[in-house]
Amino acid sequence: MADRSSRSYELRLPRLADARVRAAVAAALARWGPAEAGPDPSEALGRTGLVVRLPLGDADAAALLRALYATGVAPTGVVLRPLDFGAARDPAGSNPSFAIFASHGGRFVRTWNWKAFVFGPLWYFQRGLYAKGLVLLGLSVWPFFGLVLTALMSVAVLLYCGLVGNWDDYLLKVKGTQWW
């Protein structure tokens, strides 16, 4: 039932003790096309559980889940996820500097970001880096510094944002962290 917009999904099912449910699940899986699985599904479901890869469209994936739930499998035991799930966080498409970091093994390389330099902590907020943006905003407008020291700190924060903004964005989008 795979359509032309299909992609590879991984289906994980737990061990099923009930033979009737195992047979119904195996029959439901047989209707959804060739799976890249080794053993017989009903046999594997009786022993340790089952992990199969299926070529499905998004609508087909939802229909498969409905069919599996109708067999009596507990919804908490069923995991169906696209194998290209990480493609949404593809570093090449979102920022050209990400390719530089990737070519250096995911390590920091100095780059320059004019938008981060001009807008400073506001750029961080716009990119979803709220925690680091708050720290930088606090450093740039701290009221207990003298006027000269506050101005110097603000310039230092803007320089930091310009030099490290792409790296911080990379850390959030690719590595999933906001911190250093």
Domain parsing of the chain, residue ranges: 7-87, 90-175
What is the rounded distance in angstroms from the CA atom of residue 18 to the CA atom of residue 76?
Answer: 16
Looking at this protein, which amino acid is placed at residue 121? P
**127-166: pLDDT as tens digits:** 989 999 999 999 888 877 788 888 899 999 999 999 999 9
User: In sequence order, what are the beta bridge partners of 13?
Assistant: 50
Dihedral sign, Cα of residue 37, residue 40, residue 43, residue 45 = positive
* 67-71-76-79 Cα dihedral, nearest 10 degrees: -50
Does 1 score more than 60 pLDDT? no
Instruction: Give strand pairing partners of 66.
Output: none
Whole-angstrom Cα distance, residue 137 to residue 20? 61
Which range (3-12, 45-54, 121-130) has the least confidence?
A: 3-12
pLDDT score of 111? 92
CATH architecture of the domain covering 7-87: 2-Layer Sandwich (3.30)
Contact assessment for residue 123 and residue 170, using Cβ atoms and an 8 Å cutoff: no
Looking at the chain, the number of H-run helices and the number of E-run strands are 9, 3
Helix (H) or strand (E) holding 52: strand 50-56
Q: Would the pTM of this model clear 0.85, i.e. be above it?
A: no
What average pLDDT does this structure show over 70-83? Answer: 84
Interatomic CA distance for residues 115 and 98, integer angstroms: 16
50 with 11: CB under 8 angstroms?
yes
| Phi/psi-derived region of residue 96, left when phi > 0, alpha when psi is between -120 and 50, beta in every other case | alpha
Sequence-separated (6 or more) residues with CB below 8 Å from residue 43: none
Query: What is the predicted pLDDT for the residue at 38?
Result: 53
